[in-house]
Amino acid sequence: MKVTIKQRKNPAATKDIDKQEHLIALIPAGDWPELPYKEVLARRAEKQGLGDGTPFVTELPNGHDTRVSLARIDPGMAPFEQLTLARKLVAAHWEGKAAPARIAIITAGFSSETAAPLIEAVVAALLARAHSLPSYKSGAKTSRPLKTIEIFTAPAGLDLRRTLAEAEGNHLARSLTVLPPNALTPALYRQRVTELAKAHGWRMKFFDANTLRTLKAGAFLAVTQGSAAQDGGIVHLRYEPPTKIKTKSNKPALALVGKGICFDTGGHNLKAAKHMMGMHEDMAGSAVALGTLLALSELKVNFPVDCWLALAQNMISPTAYKQNDVVTALNGTTIEIVHTDAEGRMVLADTLALACKAKPGFIIDYATLTGACVYALGTRYSGAFTNRGELIHSLINAGVDSGERVWPFPMDGDYDKTLDSDIADIKQCTLEGEADHILAARFLNRFVDEKIPWLHLDLAAASHKGGLAHVPSATTGFGVRYTLNLVLDKQVMKT
């Protein structure tokens, strides 16, 4: 979806507002600044008891019934709260009357420095809402696509290219994640990735089952052996910066690794119906990795990016792996299987080991990995784990600044004792349920080269009822916006 953003340096006049069908207005908390239809808006807002930070929706008596959503905003509002308010302001324009093909944003009473992040939040929310997600409803109504966003009193130097790139990446992540499992098997997923690679000039390689056997990737193959289709494997994509923006120094690559379990039955440790429902979204981590690659490619970053997608299904069958099996991972580590529903860490183990062979400068993996992380945080935050303790503050601040919040968990080595096996190098997990999100991260740590900085994101916030921050759908695509802040603003690859 192509959206044109027009920036007007001048304030909106009444004649400008009268040309609009849809308008979002942002003003400071407290006194009303000068803006078109100020008296009408102030009177109606007072009548409805509008408080600061609460969206107010009305239609102007201007002959065009311009729909207005307005909020009085405390400039000190945190980015997450700004994005949440923006989502509510935007929602009013998709209710009742036809969805907008064009919409205007006006700010009044703010400094340029204060207005810029507020406008960015609204634009992010508009793009997230305007992107349609796949739907298989017969006779579904098709709304007019949003074509134009017009910004009045745009601050000097307002650059929304990154917001547009993040929106494209987030939309890709959400669109893939909501697809039903019969429309996104590993084979069908790979077809979609192949098309994306051709469109964006990414190099692509697929490690199929035979190749993985040659590499002795027994952890990955243990999970895929129960699938009749035998279409699982690891996809490797590579973005190279355009020659004209390459620096003389050879910058190391950023490696993005994603768990892509297209459906998870739990295997022989079969999930109950309540917990198997929604398991087509167990590939959300791979979709976020792919969406992040897309966003970075759109921005033409000046460093290479590797993307590794672990595509598989965890099926129950006579050939499926089982408890007490012992398998050997790609890096030679032997693993005792304890629970077949802990398959995500198995496919990630070999994928991380493979990614490390390319010696990237930084690795980030994304996975809907553990229920324990959801129990610990709920679905408003995601969990962060790293082998570089000095990054903790940057990890937290990237979440605060991006509005995609994370919280770090301990990675102390004494947790490893819990994963001691009597027969193999390591147990896959335990059956006691003790801090499984931490144990999973400690398990994965065995497959990451200690010389390479690594971040593991356990995506507890991959799905949040009612939407999260600026994203209106329960499927959030959490991680794309966070990663760009971490890599581009916090510059963790330089640490």
CB 380 within 8 A of CB 467: no
d(CA 459, CA 468): 13
Cβ atoms within 10 Å of 63's Cβ, excluding its own: 7
d(CA 320, CA 304): 37
- The CA-atom distances, in angstroms, between 259 and each of 30, 240, 268, 414, 447 are 48, 23, 20, 26, 15
d(CA 168, CA 215): 35
Nearest to 171 by CA among 120, 129, 204, 136: 129
d(CA 150, CA 101): 11
Nearest to 264 by CA among 207, 213, 339, 327: 339
Nearest to 320 by CA among 225, 231, 217: 225
345 is catalytic: yes
Q: In 3-state terms, what secondary structure has residue 27?
A: strand
Pick the catalytic residue from 67, 345, 481, 490. Answer: 345
**Tokens linked to 99:** 């969805």
**Tokens linked to 275:** 């917990």
CB 69 within 8 A of CB 55: yes
Nearest to 265 by CA among 227, 308, 302, 291: 227
d(CA 52, CA 81): 13
Pick the catalytic residue from 102, 147, 246, 271. Answer: 271
**Tokens linked to 191:** 């077809």
271 is catalytic: yes
Partner residues linked to 206 by β-bridges: 235
H or E element in which residue 257 lies:
strand 254-264
Question: What is the 3-state composition of the chain as percent helix, strand, coil, each rounded to the nearest 5?
Answer: 40, 20, 40
CB 455 within 8 A of CB 444: no
d(CA 50, CA 44): 9
Pairing assessment for the beta strands 334-336 and 454-458 based on DSSP bridges: unpaired
d(CA 169, CA 382): 18
Instruction: Give me Rg for the CA atoms of the chain.
Output: 24
Q: Compute the C-alpha angle 299/300/303, nearest 5°.
A: 120
What are the two backbone dihedrals, phi and then psi, of residue 338, each rounded to the nearest 5 degrees? -115, -35
Catalytic residues: 271, 345
